[in-house]
Amino acid sequence: MSAASTKPLFKAIKPKKRRDVTQGVLPGDYPEQFRQEQRDTRDPLDYDPTPPDATAAALSVLAERMRAIGGPVFESAVGAGHIAYVLRDWGFDVIGADVVDRGYPGVVLQSFYDFRERPSLDDQQSRIMFTNPPYCEINSRDGHGRWLRHAHDLGFDLVVMLLNADWSYARQNGLDELHARYPVSVEYKCCWKIDFRGGGSPPQRNAWLIWDVDHQGETISRRLFRDAGGFKCQGVLL
């Protein structure tokens, strides 16, 4: 067999590279930024526990405003309490709700969308929502931003959500209208990659996005650092 005639054979047996399914997709228009082989590992409810340093960093710049508003903080996707425990460590009372009981004490087993008014604790109604929502419920492709819409329908004074840093770029399925109607007050860009799953190679950037009823003017964009809240490392999940 001549050298030229072997080319089709080698071409046929050459291993093919896996295609990164996120390539060619507009930023913010997909619920997750993982290669195909990683998709099967995702929780069906998009549950990604938030490491404590990420919450503490956010509180380092938000706690003063939260205390000025007062009242209990509503964690609308509390899970096992990864965010809630840090909130409590910083002195905040927390109301935690979720559709699944993952072990957080006193969890209200109720869908966020079933709340018709802001929840109360000791006759104090929550005015602050602080959460890492399931991305499939707020992205443009699947959720159409409905988690944010419902938060504003409930009338919170302060909404704090940890999202994919590309979320603000999304335009499909009503997201342009959503951004125009509920512009972000402050964006805190996390200057490290949050390792939600402990795999050591997180694939995306994240940002804490803040909607503050008293904010006026254009969106403020600021950088946020991992050690801002006093943590020197990623930390062990609670």
Residue 79: how many other CB atoms lie within 10 Å = 25
pLDDT (tens digit per residue) in 145-156: 999 999 999 999
Residues 143 and 137: beta-carbon distance below 8 Å: yes
Q: For 111, what's the count of Cα atoms within 13 Å in the CB-facing half-sphere?
A: 7
Average of pLDDT values for 215-233? 88
Average pLDDT, the chain: 84
pLDDT band at 126 (very low <50, low <70, confident <90, very high): very high
Give the pLDDT confidence score for residue 236 in this predicted structure.
39
> Is the confidence at residue 231, as pLDDT, over 70?
no
Comparing 203 with 172, the larger pLDDT belongs to 172
Q: What are phi and psi of 112, to 5 degrees?
A: -55, -35
Element (H, E) at 161: strand 158-164
Contacts (Cβ under 8 Å, ≥6 apart) of 127: 69, 70, 71, 118, 156, 157, 158
Average of pLDDT values for 133-139? 92
Find the angle CA(206)-CA(183)-CA(68) to the nearest 5 degrees. 80
Q: What are phi and psi of 100, to 5 degrees?
A: -130, 140
Average of pLDDT values for 172-199? 93
pTM value is: 0.79
Nearest partner of 66 among 123, 128, 148, judged by Cα = 128
Nearest partner of 48 among 168, 162, 209, 191, judged by Cα = 162
Helix (H, G, I), strand (E, B) or coil at 237: coil
Average of pLDDT values for 128-136? 95
Q: Which residue has the tokens 């997180």?
A: 202
Give the pLDDT confidence score for residue 76 in this predicted structure.
98
pLDDT (tens digit per residue) in 5-63: 555 444 444 444 443 333 333 333 322 333 333 444 566 666 789 999 999 999 999 99
